[in-house]
Structure 1
Amino acid sequence: MKFLFDLFPVILFFGVFKWAEGHAEAAQGLVSHYLSGIMSGGTVAVTQAPILLATAVAILASLAQIGWLLARKKKVDAMLWVSLAIIVVFGGATIYFRDDTFIKWKPTILYWCFALALLVSQLALKKNLIRSMMEKQITLPDPVWNKLNLAWTAFFAAMGVLNLYVAFNFPLDTWVNFKMFGGMGLMFAFVIAQSLFLSKHMKDTE
């Protein structure tokens, strides 16, 4: 359930973009009516409307996500705040300048923030964030925890690079599909590979 909650803005971004692609004139009308006041000026092209509308909805979804947690007096994870800041800055720039370059960079910046947090915590603060999240569920030797933390660091760093490659070498709709399905698919594959790796060490521990 938490996984779907965390993906809420991404799912809405994808859904709105796909709807706007099929209803470009309606999307153009919505963007012109609701977003013209926060754009740098000029007429919104039909081809620009889907990404601008999807970006605006993703920003609102991220704000609603954190607002809902605060209203229920739930803890807001630090990375949710980071994600909100990134979508507001890069999404806001996308809308203001009517340039999808900024929103294409957003996943990469987020992935690299994850990677940097894991790496700095392990090397500088001597704190293994992956261990902090998982040690209640499994018991592993210290070297394995360190390898696992570094593996996630490398994965997020690589995902950031891959996002840029797809974003700037393929059509916009291909990138949107990759953002929704490619990222989740690769994450799922990585988790399966991690589980296979951990199963061996968990048996050894036992």
Structure 2
Amino acid sequence: MPPLAKLALELGPLAVFFAANARAGLFIATAAFMIATVVALAVSFAWVRRVPIMPLVSGAVVLVFGGLTLILHDELFIKLKPTIVNLLFASVLLGGLAFGRPLLARVFDEVIRLDDDGWRKLTLRWGLFFVALAILNEIVWRSFPTDTWVSFKVFGVMPLTLVFAMCQMPLMQRHALPDDKPDATPGA
């Protein structure tokens, strides 16, 4: 899938959530978010015939907690969703490390090639980052009005994640494995 399409499928539901919240409030925004999430997962599946695990898990939690928000008419559940998803990802990553299995290596081994120490460090960092995001979500939704929380969810979390990911580049470069492909020399 082209990177721009992948980004649109990941950010699209958040943009729908933000726009719907601004126009119609959190409950309509939650319903729109749920629909946009299902559409994004369906498009992703139609495009590549599989759905990556992180969007699938996040989508399932959106449907469960969004459904609870709408059925019980209580915004608490949709506000807890990012905390639950981030803690779930942190638990899987850190739990894998506890059992000597840096699970990021299984997910990204086709794209990124690192030595074992690099995978352990990268997995630990991402696990702790997800814990930090969960704590930050709790602070923001408990301390600020709903509209501020929605703006943070849309315009705060993604930039934080991108900055964090870029900050991991030196670690990844230090622990990168050499490319196994022979160099193609001109004229050979």
Q: Which amino acid aligns with 2:15?
A: I
Q: Which amino acid aligns with 1:140?
A: L
SS at match of 1:99: coil
Q: Deviations over 1:30-50 (max 9, x none)?
A: xxxxxxxxxxxxxxxxxxxx1
1:133 aligns with 2:107: yes
Residue 67 of structure 1 is matched in structure 2 by 42
1:184 aligns with 2:188: no
SS at match of 1:79: helix
Q: Deviations over 1:72-128 (max 9, x none)?
A: 56111223332222111111111122221111101111111111121223333x432
Residue 161 of structure 1 is matched in structure 2 by 135
Write the mapping of 1:6-85 to structure 2, written as runs, cut at 5 A. 6-18=10-22, 20=23, 27=24, 50-72=25-47, 74-85=49-60
| Superposed CA RMSD | 2.2
Q: Deviations over 1:105-154 (max 9, x none)?
A: 01111111111121223333x43222233334444331121011010000
TM superposition score normalised by structure 1: 0.76
Report the Cα offset of residue 169 of structure 1. Answer: 0.4
Report the Cα offset of residue 164 of structure 1. Answer: 0.7
SS at match of 1:96: helix
Residues 154 and 75 of structure 1: is their aligned pair in 2 closer, same or farther, counting only changes over 3 Å? Answer: same
Q: Which amino acid aligns with 1:118?
A: L
TM superposition score normalised by structure 2: 0.83
